[in-house]
Each structure stands twice: as structure tokens, then as C-alpha cells.
Structure 1
Amino acid sequence: MSKDFTTLLQTTTSPLVMGILNVTPDSFSDGGQFDQINSAIEQAELMIQQGADIIDIGGESTRPNAEEVSLEEELSRVIPAIKAIKSKFDVWVSIDTSKAEVMKQAVEAGADIINDVRALTLPGALDVAVQAQVPVCLMHMQGQPKNMQNNPQYDEVVTDVLQYLLERADECTQAGIAKANIIIDPGFGFGKTADNNFKILNQLDAFTASGYPVLAGLSRKTMIGHATGQDVENRVYGSVAGALICAQKGADIIRVHDVQATVDALAVLEHTQRA
């Protein structure tokens, strides 16, 4: 069934919070913590109680140097989690995948959004998204997870990334995806240096001015560690600061590990803006 993403966005004046649920053994921050179905359900419930609007379920790590996961393995990780969460909770669920068959089965299992770090470029992905008629998030990535941090190069990173996303969005609309169902994501940390990432953050309003909703995901990433000197487990405060900057620059969705801290910070920002 087609989901009305525009209506979801209009339910709040604050950005939507997307809680990260990696049902993987090797994700960079929380790998192995939620790869059993019961622990995944408990974590989803906790994030919903803390204020998450969307639960983003991923079965393949896309951290730097990550190895690819087989189709069968990815399906075995994400489909049971989607079915269980949708049966227990009234919450939007996104499937974080690039594989067409995973997208197809995930939507059939109840996923409401396709979140693709490869912007629907793998074989069959665009066709599946057109058929599914659910919101899709198109992310920019230079290279692939195995090699994306091997000396990424841009003429001008903000212009290059935005142009790529707008071109992909045009291709998607021409293929039959409604413009209202397209979200863009500049892809913090995906084939970008720390300087690249902070330039994008500083000019995120160029993306939010594009006419498309913007998803921003910088939670616990290396750019936060670069700024703070903290390891992954101690990047909550830096991540929340980044989330607030994204919100101030017009991001529509903030993708985070630490839901409660982010929700509280956004509430303070919202009250300040209303005053």
C-alpha cells in the first residue's frame, strides 16, 4: 500500500527521528547487539518509547571496509525483524538495503520506506521501488564500502553531491516514482573526508532548498570522532550537536543511534524556535 510520506512529515514541526536498528554482527557502532530477534524487538520498543518516528532496519553493514553479505543472509536477518516489529508496534519501518529482492520482500513484510545507500543503482532496485510505490531515500556514496574512504576526491563536494542526488531523483521520477516519495541524503561518511563532511554539514541548507525532504545521518560517525577526539562509544554528545545543526538547517529526518538524547535536544530547539 502506498504510504503518504508528506502527511507523516506534516505531523510535527520538528524533524522526524529515525532510530537505527542494525540486525548485523559487524556494524561499526552497534554490531552484534541486536542480531537476535528478541533483542531487536526490545531495542525497537525502547526507541519507540523514547520518541522514534521511524525504525530503520539494516541487515548488511556499510561501514568502511565492510564485506558484502549474501542475499539469503540479509533476508534471514531483516524479514523476521520487520514482521515482528510491524505486528507489535504502530510505527513506520524503513529497510536499509541496496538489494532489489530484499527491498521487495521487506515491503511485502510491512516496510514503509526503502533507504538505499546506493540510490537505487543496483540491478532491479529502481524497478522494485517503482512497483512498491513507497517513499525512497536516495543517498550519495562515492565508491563502495570496501574502498569508499580510499582518498575520495571532489571538484566541489557540496555541488557534486547535490548534483548527483538531483540527477538520481530525476531518473527516479522519470521511471515512475512520485516526487513526493523521494528523500535525499548527502551520505555523511560515505566516500568523504572529514573536511568534506563538515562542508556538507555547514551547507546542508543547499540540500534542504532543493525541494526534496532531506535525511541526515551522522550519528557516531568518524567525522564526530574527528571533531571531538572520542571513540565510537563516546560520541553521543557530538552526535547530538550534529543533529541540532542538521535540524537548524532544515533536515526533515535525523537518523540516530541515541534516540532519547536526540529527541530531548530537538525538543529544546523546537521550543526555542516557537518562543
Structure 2
Amino acid sequence: MQAISPIGVFDSGYGGLTVFKSIVQQLPQYDYLYLGDNARSPYGPRSFDTVYEYTLQCVQWFFAQGCPLVILACNTASAKALRTIQQHDLPKMPDSGNRVLGVIRPTTEIIGQFSQTGKVGILGTKGTVTSNSYPIEIEKFWPQLQVYQQACPMWVPLVENNEHNGDGADFFVQEYLQQLLAQDAEIDTLLLACTHYPLLHKKIQQYAPAGTRIVAQGDIVANSLVDYLQRHPQMEQRISKHALRHFYTTDDTRSFDEQASVFYGTAVQSQHLNLV
């Protein structure tokens, strides 16, 4: 690989590619590295300490590749690891000018704009829901909102096994939506707080009450990154601009390439990375 200073985009698996796709559409001129830690996926059920350990290891790899900026395009990593990395690890690293951003804050800053009833439902992994990160962050920007959460542990396996369009997905989409709406029937906005979930958008729309607003994170995170780079010209100048994209996976490249194309929308050719 030629010497570049790309933006790093990280996820525990494939879901971050839905965010990466939006970022590339809005900022095509930059160089990017994408890493999916598929060998240790899913992160959702894992402990805070384990997610932090895995995420930090991947962030350090990005920095070693010359990335000055890393986007955690993973809600679980953003919920369980981002703050510790920002506050504890970055200040101790040799290049303290490097930065790590997540997907939770950009979303919580604007989520209140979508709801008419003031009642928002969060659909996420067990790890994201357990962290309580979304209610905590939403309270800072939209204290008047009522926030309800629902863990959807079967959705990521359905998507990663390419069953998101099958009949089994209908059952689990209905089940989790019913559990969420049983908390409050006036929920009118559903946040897909996992980057895998956009692939279930049609089924969620099908079984959600008419008029429900379903919010995915890809464009929100991409818009936030555009704004961040405009406000931080010193960072923007550090990032190389050759429109290069390189994909890495900690698991089998053939399987990754096949699945990744579903999330990313075009063919992907990855390289294997051994982090152990």
C-alpha cells in the first residue's frame, strides 16, 4: 500500500459498511481503510471490558496504518469503548492529535427533530441497550423526549446469515416491535441503533404502525463527519485524498467479500488481518 493518511472506519462486522457507504457518497475524495473484526463478532453480547479491549486494539492498528481519524461505525463499540478510549487512551498515545469518533452522539444530537409525540424507540443490540448510552445522550440534547429501548438479539444473526428477507425475519421483527410498542403505543420514531438494521428497514416499516418514522444512521453520521472536517481544518489537511478504499477483515476474506457487497452496495475485495 502506498503511503497514505486515510480515514479509518471500524465495525465488529459488516454493519459499519452501511455507514461507510454514506460517508463515501458524501466525501468521495478521501482515502479510507475499513476494518471488520468478523472473527470476534458479534460484539453485542460481550462485556464492556472485552468490547473495550477489542476496539482499542483495532483503533491502535488504524493509527499504525497512518489514520489520523477513526470512525467507530459500530453502536456497541461506541457505547462500550469510545469514551474510555477518548479520555484515557488517546492522551497517552504518541500522536495526541489523532481522534476517534462514534455514531451515538451525531444521532442523539438530531433525533428529536423526527418525533411529533416526543416518544422515541431505540432498537439495538443487547450491549447498546444495556449501556444506556442513548437515553443518557438524548437527555443532554432533548430532555423533553421520552425514550424507550428494545434489544433485538436475533436481528444481527439474521442479517449476517442473509436471512433478513426471509419469513424468519418477519417473526423476529414483529416480536421486538411488539415488545417495544407495549411500553408506549405513542412511540412515533424508531431509531435503528445498530448499523446492521438498515437491511431490515422494509420489514420494520411493514410491521410498524402507519406513519412511524424510521431513522437509520448512515447519512446522519456522514453529515456529522462533513461538519467535523469543516470545523477542524487541521485534521482535514492531514487526511490524504486519492479516493482510495481498502477493506480488511479478521476472518475469511471470501466470506467477507460476499457478504460485504450486500451492505456496501458494490463489490468488495478485502485483505485478511490477524490481530491475535
TM-score range (shorter-chain normalised) is 0.3 to 0.5
CA radius of gyration, larger in: 2
Give the structure-1-normalised TM-score. 0.35
Give the structure-2-normalised TM-score. 0.35
